[in-house]
Amino acid sequence: MLGVAGGIAAYKAAHLLRLLAESGHDVRVVPTESALNFVGSATWAALSGHPVHTTVWEDVEGVEHVRLGKSADLVVVAPATADLLARAASGRADDLLAATLLTATCPVVMAPAMHTEMWVHPATQQNVATLRERGVLVLDPAVGRLTGADTGPGRLPEPEALAQVVTAVLHARGRRDLSGLRVVISAGGTREPVDPVRFLGNRSSGLQGYALASAAIARGASVTVVSANVELPDPAGASVLRVGTALELQDAVRGAASAADVVVMAAAVADFRPAAVADDKIKRDPTGDTVPAIDLVSNPDVLAGLVAARAAGGLPDGCTVVGFAAETGDADADALAHAQAKLARKGVDLLVLNDVSGGAVFGQPGNRVLLLSPDGTIDGPHVGSKPAVADAIWDRVAGLRG
């Protein structure tokens, strides 16, 4: 069920509805009366294929608010206005949406959208805290352009990011085993500049890291994403730190990890960088006879550095460190053997192996991973969509943490 409250961001909910429907979900839309001032009922009916009601006095014989609340697999409210949050927190049932929220027995996700002053007001924050205490997943709003010239926290996350949360919550099947955990996830791929135009990089898209973020949020965690050159909508409900190079990523991860319970290094971090960056674009020799040489130096091992920082007390006691290994086989060993050697060197609690031979995995919707533990246990292969693989990884992390 998609609830839509009366805010300008209601237009984004139409796109969310289409994404959910195209993914195969059967969606019933329940707008508030004020939401119809922004998007009319004909739009909701056309996109969902179902009639649209706003009050408990319509379809009385079907007891609509009870039927919707009991039959839904998930209720997502986007946008959730300050007024709707207040009414839900106080248990009011003065329209069909509020009444349905009272009868819902499935997971409930609320995506707030409002002016910054309304979001940070103590009354709204208290209502959000109340709903979260009751098990409602209330996402933090995105930061950005609001109505008019205002900018700040209060923007509705992009529909694609909200759709990913829906997928994650459905995969989680009501599990909240990460509640209260502070999670840091690196995602994407670093880029090391050669000159103002060129860089050394890799093919990581950030899809798996962002799926891990959405899955962790769905399971109750507070998530910070260190995002390296990712061209995807920010994960809804996550705090996002943007970086470019390996050195920038190291600083951002170390800073965020100082208060983390779990750190997942899903980003593809460059092992090397140019020793010097040219101030101007390196020109091609017109004759083609001379090719410039690029001297490389090693980047720091961010993952091993995290493990060392934990041993030195730089990370909280009991912090779980998870690494990723994108490997291929070669003349010396196969991908698994290389990953097992990396696990022994790094000292992490869990290593996720991607065999990327032939360019597999990067930018693709699916993944295939093995989960390697220091005791020699090999869990998997886990094969499926990246959201499904994310849940398999979090299942293992939850097991490690007891």
Point out the residues that are catalytic. Answer: 202
Bridge partner residues of 343 (DSSP): none
- CA distances for 187 relative to 162, 180, 223, 328, angstroms: 18, 22, 12, 20
Contacts 24+ apart (CB under 8 A), 37-44: 37/6, 38/6, 38/7, 38/8, 38/10, 38/11, 39/4, 39/10, 39/11, 39/13, 39/14, 43/14, 44/4, 44/14, 44/17
CA atoms within 13 A of residue 194's CA, in its CB half-sphere: 13
The letter for the amino acid at 269 is V
Q: Which DSSP state fits 268?
A: B
Q: What is the C-alpha to C-alpha distance for residues 360 and 356, in angstroms, rounded to an integer?
A: 5
User: What values do phi and psi take at 324, rounded to 5?
Assistant: -115, 145
Q: What is the C-alpha to C-alpha distance for residues 308 and 321, in angstroms, rounded to an integer?
A: 11
Q: What is the CA radius of gyration of the chain?
A: 24
